[in-house]
Structure 1
Amino acid sequence: MARLLMQRALSPEWLEELFEQHRERQYTRELLFSTEVDLMSLVALGLRPSLHAAAQASDELAVSITALYDKVNHTEPELVRMLVQGSAERLAPVVQPLKTRQTPWAAGYQVRVLDGNHLPASEKRLKPLRGFRGAALPGQALVVYAPEEDLVVDMLAGEDAHAQERSLLGPVLERVKPGELWLADRNFSTTGILFALHDKGAAFIIREHGVSPHPEPVGALQEVGRVETGVVFEQAVQIEDGTGRHLPLRRIELHLDEPTEDGDTVIRLLTNAPAERLGAQQVARLYRHRWSIEGMFGRLESVLHSEVRTLGHPRAALLALGVAVMAYNVLAVLQAAVEAEHESATAGLEVSSYFVAGEVKATYGGMMIALPAAAWEPFKKQSAPELSDTLRQMAAHVNPAKLRKHPRASKKKTRKGYVPGEVARRHVATARVLRGQKLT
Structure 2
Amino acid sequence: MLSSVFEQFGKESPVTVMAQVLMSRIFAPERIDSLFTKYATVQYQQDLLFSSQVDLMSLVVCGIQKSVHSAYKAKAVDLSVSTTALYKKLCGIELGVSQGLLRETARDLIELVQLMGGEQASLLPGYRLKIVDGTCLAGTDHRLNAIRNFAASALPGKAIVVLEQCSKLVTDIFPIEDGHSQERSLFDSVLEQVKSQDLWCGDRNFCTAKFLFTIKEKKAFFVIRQHGGLGFRELSELKHLGSTQTGELFEQKVEFSYDGKTIEVRRVVLKLFVATRDKEWEIAILTNLPYAVPANKITQIYRNRWSLENLFQTVTENFNGEIQTLAYPKAALFSFSMALVTYNILATLRGALGSVHGVDKIEAGLSDFYLGPSNK
Q: Judge same fold: TM > 0.5, yes or no.
A: yes
- Identify the residue that residue 33 of structure 1 maps to in structure 2: 50
Instruction: Please report how far the alpha carbon of residue 11 of structure 1 lies from its aligned counterpart in structure 2 after TM superposition.
Output: 2.4
* In structure 2, C-alpha distance between the alignment counterparts of 1:45 and 1:22, rounded to whole Å: 25
Gap change, CA 1:121 and 1:251, over 3 Å in 2: same
- Identify the residue that residue 24 of structure 1 maps to in structure 2: 41
In the alignment, which of 348, 354, 361 is matched to residue 374 of structure 2? Answer: 361
- Are 2:282 and 1:266 equivalent residues in the alignment? yes
User: What is the CA deviation profile of residues 261-301 of structure 1, one whole-angstrom value per residue up to 9, with x for unaligned ones?
Assistant: 1121111110000011x211110111111111100000000
* In structure 2, C-alpha distance between the alignment counterparts of 1:230 and 1:69, rounded to whole Å: 53
Gap change, CA 1:350 and 1:124, over 3 Å in 2: same
- Identify the residue that residue 309 of structure 2 maps to in structure 1: 294
* In structure 2, C-alpha distance between the alignment counterparts of 1:46 and 1:82, rounded to whole Å: 23
Instruction: Please report how far the alpha carbon of residue 13 of structure 1 lies from its aligned counterpart in structure 2 after TM superposition.
Output: 1.8
Instruction: Please report how far the alpha carbon of residue 223 of structure 1 lies from its aligned counterpart in structure 2 after TM superposition.
Output: 0.9
Gap change, CA 1:167 and 1:47, over 3 Å in 2: same
Alignment of structure 1 residues 298-317 onto 2, 5 Å: 298-317=313-332
- Matched residues, number: 358
When normalised by structure 2's length, the TM-score is 0.91
- Are 2:241 and 1:228 equivalent residues in the alignment? no
The answer on whether the counterparts of 2:369 and 2:375 sit within 8 Å (CA) in structure 1 is: no
- Identify the residue that residue 291 of structure 2 maps to in structure 1: 275
SS in 2 for 1:169: helix
SS in 2 for 1:105: coil
Letter of the aligned partner of 1:35 in structure 2?
S
In the alignment, which of 151, 173, 177 is matched to residue 155 of structure 1? Answer: 173
Instruction: Please report how far the alpha carbon of residue 97 of structure 1 lies from its aligned counterpart in structure 2 after TM superposition.
Output: 3.0
Instruction: Please report how far the alpha carbon of residue 27 of structure 1 lies from its aligned counterpart in structure 2 after TM superposition.
Output: 0.8
- Are 2:158 and 1:140 equivalent residues in the alignment? yes
Larger radius of gyration: 1
Alignment of structure 1 residues 105-254 onto 2, 5 Å: 105-212=123-230, 214-242=231-259, 244-254=260-270
- Are 2:71 and 1:54 equivalent residues in the alignment? yes
- Identify the residue that residue 4 of structure 2 maps to in structure 1: none
SS in 2 for 1:27: coil
Show structure 2 runs of 5+ residues with no match: 1-17
Alignment of structure 1 residues 315-354 onto 2, 5 Å: 315-343=330-358, 346=361, 349-354=364-369
The answer on whether the counterparts of 1:339 and 1:351 sit within 8 Å (CA) in structure 2 is: no
SS in 2 for 1:223: strand
Alignment of structure 1 residues 82-93 onto 2, 5 Å: 82-93=100-111
Gap change, CA 1:130 and 1:166, over 3 Å in 2: same
The answer on whether the counterparts of 1:112 and 1:182 sit within 8 Å (CA) in structure 2 is: yes
- Are 2:113 and 1:95 equivalent residues in the alignment? yes
* In structure 2, C-alpha distance between the alignment counterparts of 1:279 and 1:346, rounded to whole Å: 27
SS in 2 for 1:206: strand
When normalised by structure 1's length, the TM-score is 0.78
Gap change, CA 1:296 and 1:283, over 3 Å in 2: same
The answer on whether the counterparts of 1:226 and 1:281 sit within 8 Å (CA) in structure 2 is: no
* In structure 2, C-alpha distance between the alignment counterparts of 1:235 and 1:38, rounded to whole Å: 53
- Are 2:15 and 1:2 equivalent residues in the alignment? no
* In structure 2, C-alpha distance between the alignment counterparts of 1:285 and 1:38, rounded to whole Å: 40
- Identify the residue that residue 401 of structure 1 maps to in structure 2: none
* In structure 1, C-alpha distance between the alignment counterparts of 2:150 and 2:131, rounded to whole Å: 36
Gap change, CA 1:314 and 1:5, over 3 Å in 2: same
* In structure 2, C-alpha distance between the alignment counterparts of 1:181 and 1:63, rounded to whole Å: 47
Instruction: Please report how far the alpha carbon of residue 345 of structure 1 lies from its aligned counterpart in structure 2 after TM superposition.
Output: 11
* In structure 1, C-alpha distance between the alignment counterparts of 2:118 and 2:326, rounded to whole Å: 40
Instruction: Please report how far the alpha carbon of residue 35 of structure 1 lies from its aligned counterpart in structure 2 after TM superposition.
Output: 0.7
Letter of the aligned partner of 1:6 in structure 2?
M
The answer on whether the counterparts of 1:138 and 1:312 sit within 8 Å (CA) in structure 2 is: yes
Instruction: Please report how far the alpha carbon of residue 248 of structure 1 lies from its aligned counterpart in structure 2 after TM superposition.
Output: 1.4
Instruction: Please report how far the alpha carbon of residue 342 of structure 1 lies from its aligned counterpart in structure 2 after TM superposition.
Output: 2.6
Give aligned-pair identity as a percent. 37
Letter of the aligned partner of 1:321 in structure 2?
F
Gap change, CA 1:362 and 1:191, over 3 Å in 2: closer
Letter of the aligned partner of 2:286 in structure 1?
L
In the alignment, which of 61, 82, 86 is matched to residue 44 of structure 1? Answer: 61
The answer on whether the counterparts of 1:253 and 1:266 sit within 8 Å (CA) in structure 2 is: yes
- Identify the residue that residue 12 of structure 1 maps to in structure 2: 29
SS in 1 for 2:81: coil
Gap change, CA 1:354 and 1:25, over 3 Å in 2: same
* In structure 2, C-alpha distance between the alignment counterparts of 1:149 and 1:184, rounded to whole Å: 18
Show structure 1 runs of 5+ residues with no match: 364-440
The answer on whether the counterparts of 2:239 and 2:251 sit within 8 Å (CA) in structure 1 is: yes
- Identify the residue that residue 91 of structure 2 maps to in structure 1: 73
* In structure 2, C-alpha distance between the alignment counterparts of 1:345 and 1:176, rounded to whole Å: 29
RMSD (Å), alpha carbons = 1.7
